[in-house]
Amino acid sequence: ACGGGDDGDGGGGSDEGLVIGFAQVGAESAWRTANSASVQAAAEAAGHELKFVDAQQEQEKQISAVRDFITQQVDAIVLAPVVETGWTDVLQEAEDAGIPVILADRGVEAADEDLYVTRLGSDFAEEGRKAGAWAAETFADDADGTRILELQGTTGSAPANDRKAGFFEVLDAEGLDYEIVDSQSGNFTAEEGKAVMETFITTHTLDGIDLLYAHNDEMGLGAIQAIEEAGKVPGVDIQIIIVDGSKAGFQAGVDGKLNYIVECNPAFGDQLMDVVESVVNGDEVEKFTPVEEGAFDASQFEAELPNREF
């Protein structure tokens, strides 16, 4: 991949700042809103012009945004790819135009690895492993096997693929006796998470279901509503893991409605600006920089809630 120009002044940028195009996924979750705000604030603080496009979770909209950024000859393109596949052509077009592409948050398939400079974001597989480690420990003595429902994120997205893979990798490694009763996508939204959970309840009832693994807060919170409406007690009748760690997620934890939170950190705007500047300057950068993240069980929810920023 190209490393960008040598003076940081490639396309309409002034000496003071860069022109950066950012093709964001959408506004599907509190995490996403916080991430957009973090990147926008950081660009402004660094004196860069950010051309921001909300692609409403549609790959086609992201592809046209990237093409527009190429036409506008921005200094760098930041892309948070909604799904992992289907990027080869447009990434090649950016490379041909000499505009470096930096992935923020989500990744693309390995075959396209040479077509972007670097990715800054979460290690989604590690998030899945953290969830899996907690589940393996919590259900280690479950004699009749652990029955699991899974609410996956957007089909084909890096966090959905990797959170799933990391989770079941650990369950298998730990030798947990489990069954995936059902696993469907709730597209990372509360509405769809709730609707899928309603279908799960109709199809399987909740009797004998031990665990719901929701790939993000919104889907978990939507599912909690569906469970309550079915007359069951979330967090007790069925244990629940969520990923992100928003205020609303932690509040549900404090209220006893869920049992484990894996953190996904959206506040990497400043770090992203540093990466973009390095890339445009032609400096060597790591291919992947993970952001720092923790995980929290019920004993930690109350103390952690005031620290949550989104």
How many Cα atoms are found within 13 Å in the side-chain-facing hemisphere of 90? Answer: 23
* CA-to-CA separations, 3 to 9, 275, 278, in angstroms, rounded: 13, 11, 9
CA distance 132 to 189: 22
Strand partners, 260: 241, 297
Cβ nearer to ligand AHR, comparing 106 with 129 = 106
- Min dist CB 15 to ligand AHR, Å, is 34
- Min dist CB 264 to ligand AHR, Å, is 5
Helices (H), 211-300: 217-229, 247-254, 269-280
Q: Which residues bind to ligand AHR, rule: CB under 6 A? A: 28-29, 31-32, 105-106, 159, 188, 216, 243-244, 264
Residues 6+ apart with CB under 8 A from 8: 18, 75, 277, 280, 281
- Min dist CB 154 to ligand AHR, Å, is 7
- Min dist CB 31 to ligand AHR, Å, is 4
- Min dist CB 164 to ligand AHR, Å, is 13
Cβ nearer to ligand AHR, comparing 76 with 160 = 160
Cβ nearer to ligand AHR, comparing 97 with 195 = 195
Cβ nearer to ligand AHR, comparing 106 with 257 = 106
Cβ nearer to ligand AHR, comparing 29 with 146 = 29
Per-residue exposure over 128-151, b if at least 16 CB sit within 10 Å of its own CB, e if not: bbbbbbbbbebbeeeeeebbbbbb
- Min dist CB 84 to ligand AHR, Å, is 11
Per-residue exposure over 28-46, b if at least 16 CB sit within 10 Å of its own CB, e if not: bbbbbebbbebbeebbeeb
How many Cα atoms are found within 13 Å in the side-chain-facing hemisphere of 294? Answer: 9
CA distance 126 to 295: 11
Cβ nearer to ligand AHR, comparing 19 with 79 = 79
